[in-house]
Structure 1
Amino acid sequence: MITALLELRLKAEAVPESEAVIRSVLTQTRAREGNLGVDVLIDRADAAHVTIVERWESIEADTAYRAWRATDEGKSSLGTILAGPPVLTLFETAFTL
């Protein structure tokens, strides 16, 4: 399993509208083949700091998703609320307890 962490810094003025934008984008993400779930984490001390946790069946499923997001069809509206580029980190599950 692959876990993707996408760390976002939101524009301060976009924080009130950010839930609707993020929800719309991630509804599409959740519908992609191989996606096992998505969580949105909001920093309790800074509402403009958001981390998205995506779980994927495989690296191939994640790679296909990222390739789709790079197309005109898959382009998201996240850029409208971001203060800077997102930071993506991919993790592979080593073991589960």
Structure 2
Amino acid sequence: MPAIVHFEVQIDPARRDDAAGYLSETLAATRAWPGNLGIEALVDDADPCHILVVETWATTQDHDDYAAWRKTPEGKHRLGEVLAGTPSKQVYSATMPLDLQTSQD
């Protein structure tokens, strides 16, 4: 199963106009990383400074390799310059089967 990554950031309201440029620059490298199958940035309707980046990876290992690269000098990015706080990240690589049939007792 592919890995789905949710990377959630809160943009500093004073830097909101700069955020798209910083996100585009950072996410271009993410998009180009081997194993990245797609990426999009979703803006919260209630708070335009709250962004959810949804990444799809071929495997969890592809994402782990990318995340390790981001911790190197070559992988460093400037996104932190426009953030209001520490981002959060969740990785989803397993599913829960859902039985859509209900029993009639």
TM-score by length of 1: 0.94
Partner of 1:92: 93
Q: Is 1:38 aligned to 2:39, yes or no? A: yes
Q: Please state how far the C-alpha of 1:78 moved relative to its aligned partner.
A: 0.8
Structure 1 unaligned blocks of 5 or more: none
Structure 2 unaligned blocks of 5 or more: 97-105
Partner SS state of residue 63, structure 2: helix
| 1:37 and 1:54 in contact (8 A); partners too | yes
Largest Rg, 1 or 2: 2
Runs of 4+ in 1 over 6 A off after TM superposition: none
For 1:57 and 1:10, locate their aligned partners in 2 and report how far apart those are by CA, in whole Å: 28
Within-5 A mapping of 1:37-76: 37-76=38-77
| 1:3 and 1:91 in contact (8 A); partners too | yes
Partner of 2:102: none
The aligned length equals 95
Q: CA RMSD in A?
A: 1.0
